[in-house]
Amino acid sequence: MSRIALVTCTPGPDVAEDRDLPGLVRALEEAGAGASAEVWDDGEVDWSGFDLAVIRSTWDYSWRAAEFTAWAERCGTATRLANPADVVRWNTDKRYLADLAGAGVPVVDTRYLAPGDALGLPDGHEYVVKPASGAGARFAARYTPGEHATAVRHLRRLHADGLTAMVQPYVRGIDTAGERALQFFGGRLLHASRKGPVLAPGTPYDRRKVAHPGLTDWTPTPAELAVAERALAAVPGAPELLYARVDLVDGEDGRPRVMELELVEPNLFLWLHPESVPRVVREILTAAGR
């Protein structure tokens, strides 16, 4: 019997509930596996006792990135980790968007401001400031050119915390076409979803946001699928990925661009797509048996 850890984090006021986790543990047990939810930073867990550890909802990692990537390295030496530790390290820092752009993948234009850099901000269009290590729109906000002083205070807070900031144009297509999340499992499309805009004008960066507003089922277009597959093919080292989520928005030209490539702990939204659970279980069992 395969022993599988579904890796999560300690619940708390700043951490969303993983609606998928109990059902996925149950589905794996019904398929004959020994499955349990394990907290990534629980020092009592013996990761070597598992055939596979699947990172699922470690949603506190973004403000503990160095600690989390060190854990992934240790876990990956003790057992098979999905996704692998080198993927985790690359994907926890959103400067990976520059790597994707360098490989010819259409991405949202992004400028990075590390601590000590000049605090240059756009003055001709609306834009977004957020940390390069972040999840769930934490410490992200949307600004107009007239809100320059507020945006500078935001940047200074990120830099004071030792974080690199990202500055992106606000993609107006989100307001009409939303953001599409294409989920892959075992290297093939699993399902897709669409959500509405997360960053409302005037919302302070340190206010908690609804990460997936108005989430609905979505059928990806051929163009969306092609961009998502190009992004996955550009991951350095061509690693074997158990799961992936590619978040897409429409650029000013109406064509899909990568907003984020989620390879660490993407929400799979299985509660919205229960028909996908059997395939997820099969792929996890296959990975555990390798």
Average pLDDT over residues 243-269: 96
The answer to whether residue 77 scores a pLDDT higher than 70 is: yes
* Range of weakest confidence among 62-66, 174-178, 186-190, 276-280: 62-66
The answer to whether residue 134 scores a pLDDT higher than 80 is: no
In sign, the C-alpha dihedral spanning 125, 131, 132, 134 is: negative
Nearest to 128 by CA among 197, 71, 73: 197
The answer to whether residue 272 scores a pLDDT higher than 90 is: yes
Q: How far is Cα 214 from Cα 36, in angstroms, rounded to an integer?
A: 30
Average pLDDT over residues 46-60: 97
**Cβ partners under 8 Å of residue 25, min gap 6:** 6, 35, 36, 37
The answer to whether residue 136 scores a pLDDT higher than 70 is: no
The answer to whether residue 51 scores a pLDDT higher than 90 is: yes
**Cβ partners under 8 Å of residue 277, min gap 6:** 23, 24, 27, 270
The answer to whether residue 206 scores a pLDDT higher than 80 is: no
Average pLDDT over residues 256-266: 97
φ, ψ at 286 (rounded to 5°): -65, -45
User: Rg of the chain over CA atoms, in angstroms?
Assistant: 19
**Cβ partners under 8 Å of residue 160, min gap 6:** none
Residue 81, pLDDT score: 98
